[in-house]
Homo-oligomer: A and B are copies of this chain.
Amino acid sequence: MAEHNLSHIDLNEYPHINKGLDGIVAFSTTKSNINGQTGELIYSGYHIDTLAENATFEEVCFLLWYDRLPNQTELDELHKKLQANRELPEPVLTYIKTTNPKAEPMAVVRSAVSMLADFVDDDASDEYNAIIMTAQIPTIIAAFDRARNGKEVVAPLKDGSTAFNFLYMLNDEKPGQAAERVMDLCLVLHAEHGMNASTFTCRSICATESDIFSAVSGAIGALKGPLHGGANTAVMNTLLILKEQGENADPVAFTKAKLDRKEKIMGFGHRVYKTFDPRAYHLRKMSKELSEETGHVYLYEWSEAMVKTMKEEKNIDPNVDFFSATVYYSIGIQPDLYTCIFAMSRISGWTAHFFEQKANNRLIRPRALYIGEKNLPWTPVEDR
């Protein structure tokens, strides 16, 4: 907005301004560890490869909340609580059905999650509220996608996994085992990831002793940004532009031309990983298998060509968003819902960090250096 003349500031007297808080350690955590050099990711003790091969999303929720895997009784109980709490309060459903159908899906998820706060008791525990949000975010996403497309909203099932029920509500058709497993694996891979911008936002809001709905709706707002979760939608939109070029589509030339124009190519590079994102391995494998099954092999091949070009030209590897885009596309999900699915998974990590922050809290309040004028005299409006 306004332009500033900084000539009155002695630049030698500036303190160091750490604009991104890079490298500053603000928390200790048991929720996840990222080794950016080796490309390793751990959730509460377990390597992401171990979890990708063995765990369900519900097991990961329990793991992140309690720092251990549930036994059979505990897992059954968690499933039951999630299944019993999937239905939305009537005013939330009314909002979803009557708001502007062109609204951004992430904005609708943010508003609907915020509204859920009105329908829990003041003395409900944070754990209960975490379950409410984990159970209802899938319902919110599916209901809005159907409502905006003029389709009848499908009520949630009272059984089945989070992944199964979400695909059922979205398509009004029970998914097969393969689709459920793909969806579930995507939820496992996106559940938690260190001190990213949305998790940090969640903890900053928690630190004022505000409530868990405030913290999560703030986190959803942060995830919505293209520099954070919004990237996977952008990746798919890039691939769809390529698709429009039909037979002339050339992913290598396309990527190089974008680089020449100094345009950002979404889905590559990461503030923390200096190597291949470990989640991208699993998504890449899924993307290959699914593209073959669903006749989108060209999308997978283009993706690989882009990965190769980016490595050669810029030495940058793909991140989690790059292959998740083609995976979601192959199972028939609209590109503008991808970030919502990210939120549907990350709710587990956000709420886990909320519990952890609350247990050992301090208000988060960095400083800003003032570079404006001081003590200007008042000028009456008629003299301005």
Q: Residue A37 at the B interface, CB < 8 A?
A: no
Known: A91-B99, A372-B30, A381-B75. A362 touches B119 (CB 8 A): no
Q: Chain B's nearest CB lies how many Å from the CB of A22?
A: 7
Cβ B200 vs Cβ A221 within 8 A: no
Stretch touching chain B among A240-248, A275-283, A363-371: A363-371
**Cross-chain pairs A/B with CB under 8 angstroms, 18 sampled:** A18-B26, A24-B366, A26-B366, A27-B366, A27-B369, A33-B374, A46-B376, A69-B379, A91-B98, A94-B94, A99-B115, A114-B114, A197-B364, A200-B364, A200-B365, A205-B221, A210-B221, A210-B224
Say which residue of B15, B47, B103, B222 sits within 8 Å of A210 (CB atoms).
Answer: B222
CA distance A53 to B50 in the complex (A): 65
Cβ B25 vs Cβ A16 within 8 A: yes
Cβ B366 vs Cβ A200 within 8 A: yes
CA distance A107 to B118 in the complex (A): 7
Cβ A378 vs Cβ B214 within 8 A: no
Interface residues of A (CB under 8 A from B): 1-2, 4, 15-33, 42, 44-47, 50, 53-55, 59, 65-72, 75, 91, 94-95, 98-100, 103-104, 107-108, 110-111, 114-115, 117-119, 127, 194-198, 200-201, 204-205, 207-211, 213-215, 217-228, 230, 271-272, 355-356, 359-360, 362-382, 384
Q: Which residues of B contact A205 (CB under 8 A)?
A: 197, 201, 218, 221-222, 225
Cβ B26 vs Cβ A21 within 8 A: yes
CA distance A4 to B95 in the complex (A): 42
Q: Which residues of B contact A15 (CB under 8 A)?
A: 25
CA distance A71 to B379 in the complex (A): 10
Known: A26-B18, A118-B108, A204-B222. A195 touches B45 (CB 8 A): no
Cβ B363 vs Cβ A26 within 8 A: no
CA distance A19 to B356 in the complex (A): 13
CA distance A14 to B180 in the complex (A): 42
Say which residue of B75, B100, B359, B368 sits within 8 Å of A195 (CB atoms).
Answer: B368
Q: Which residues of B contact A226 (CB under 8 A)?
A: 208-209
Q: Chain B's nearest CB lies how many Å from the CB of A290?
A: 25
Q: Which residues of B contact A59 (CB under 8 A)?
A: 381
In this complex, what residue of B is CB-closest to A353? B368
Known: A30-B372, A104-B117, A208-B226. A110 touches B214 (CB 8 A): yes
CA distance A224 to B213 in the complex (A): 11
Q: Which residues of B contact A368 (CB under 8 A)?
A: 25-29, 194-195
In this complex, what residue of B is CB-closest to A23? B367
Q: Which residues of B contact A18 (CB under 8 A)?
A: 24-26
Known: A119-B100, A201-B205. A42 touches B364 (CB 8 A): no
Of A4, A23, A32, A384, most buried by chain B (CB within 10 Å of CB) is A384
Say which residue of B4, B65, B94, B362 sits within 8 Å of A1 (CB atoms).
Answer: B65
Known: A69-B384, A376-B45. A208 touches B194 (CB 8 A): no
Q: Which residues of B contact A365 (CB under 8 A)?
A: 20-22, 195-197, 200, 271-272
Cβ B217 vs Cβ A110 within 8 A: yes
In this complex, what residue of B is CB-closest to A59? B381
Cβ B363 vs Cβ A20 within 8 A: yes
CA distance A28 to B11 in the complex (A): 12
Say which residue of B21, B46, B375 sits within 8 Å of A42 (CB atoms).
Answer: B375
Q: Which residues of B contact A22 (CB under 8 A)?
A: 365-366
CA distance A183 to B218 in the complex (A): 29
Q: Chain B's nearest CB lies how many Å from the CB of A128?
A: 13
Say which residue of B45, B213, B370 sits within 8 Å of A30 (CB atoms).
Answer: B370
